[in-house]
């Protein structure tokens, strides 16, 4: 704050030889792959190239690190959701969401499946707070979809007798199922076929 005008600020102590952002990226891969409890601090030290005291100094404990990683995940990897919500109609928003999700969930450059689902679907009671946190994230997505469908009703591209929350839950159920499929090895083509069948639902078929 006080020195923000100076571009080159000389820091006092020994310089850290890690980049916080790339460290979080590497932590993300590990948590995404093995889940919160399936990931050990030992694995993280190896993946980040940092020893434990450095990790704790930089990011806090395991829970705090996971939360920072979760932030990074939502900020950098789930932007396609907001993008899909900007589609002109509800049907297009759903199709955009699911088809982009299918690409994302099977991306060969990242772990397969959705971290918010597989990060802690079940866990020991020690990690129940993390499980609850991820459930909150999912509920949040449900709200996002619901609001978009409410908007669609006022715009007239979704029947007024359609329950927005039920539709949101249907789409989310598909997404979560697709995530399980992707984690189990399903291909993009296979998920796309699932979407094609899902999009033939009566509310949406006529609007594609």
Partner DNA sequence: ATATTTATTTACCAATCGGTATATAAATAA
Partner DNA sequence: TTATTTATATACCGATTGGTAAATAAATAT
For DNA, the binding residues (CB under 7 A) are 10-18, 37, 39-43, 50-54, 56-58, 61-63, 124
Of a second copy, DNA, none, which one does residue 15 interact with (CB within 5 to 8 Å by kind)?
DNA
Structure tokens at 35: 């889940």
The structure tokens 């932590």 sit at 27
Question: Least CB distance from residue 122 to a second copy, whole Å?
Answer: 4
Nearer Cβ to a second copy, position 57 or 193? 193
Tokens of 57: 């100094």
Residues that bind a second copy (CB under 8 A): 33-35, 37-40, 113, 117-119, 121-125, 127, 135, 138-139, 163, 166-167, 169-170, 172-181, 183-186, 190, 193-194, 196-198, 200-203, 205
100 in Cβ contact with 80 (< 8 Å): yes
**For 54-89, b where at least 16 C-beta lie within 10 A, e where not — what string?**
bbeebbeebeebbebbbeebbeebbeebeebbebeb
CB of 39 to a second copy, least distance (A): 7
Nearer to a second copy, 58 or 194 (CB): 194
- The answer to whether 75 and 48 have CB atoms below 8 angstroms apart is no
CB of 16 to a second copy, least distance (A): 29
Q: What count of residues does the chain have? A: 208
């Amino acid at each position: 704050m006080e020195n923000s005008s100076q571009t080159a600020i000389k820091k006092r102590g020994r310089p850290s030889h890690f980049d916080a952002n790339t460290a979080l990226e590497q932590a993300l891969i590990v948590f995404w792959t093995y889940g919160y409890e399936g990931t050990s601090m030992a694995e993280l030290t190896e993946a980040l190239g940092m020893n434990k005291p450095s990790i704790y100094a930089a990011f806090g404990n395991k829970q705090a690190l996971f939360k920072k990683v979760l932030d990074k995940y939502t900020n950098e990897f789930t932007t396609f959701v907001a993008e899909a919500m900007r589609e002109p109609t509800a049907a297009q928003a759903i199709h955009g969401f699911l088809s982009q999700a299918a690409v994302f969930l099977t991306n060969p450059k990242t772990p397969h499946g959705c971290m918010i689902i597989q990060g802690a679907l079940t866990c020991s009671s020690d990690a129940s707070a993390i499980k609850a946190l991820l459930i909150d994230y999912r509920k949040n997505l449900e709200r996002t979809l619901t609001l978009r469908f409410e908007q669609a009703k006022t715009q007239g591209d979704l029947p007024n007798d359609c329950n927005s929350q039920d539709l949101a839950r249907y789409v989310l159920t598909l997404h979560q199922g697709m995530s399980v499929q992707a984690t189990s090895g399903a291909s993009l083509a296979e998920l796309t076929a699932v979407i094609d069948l899902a999009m033939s639902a009566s509310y949406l078929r006529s609007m594609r």
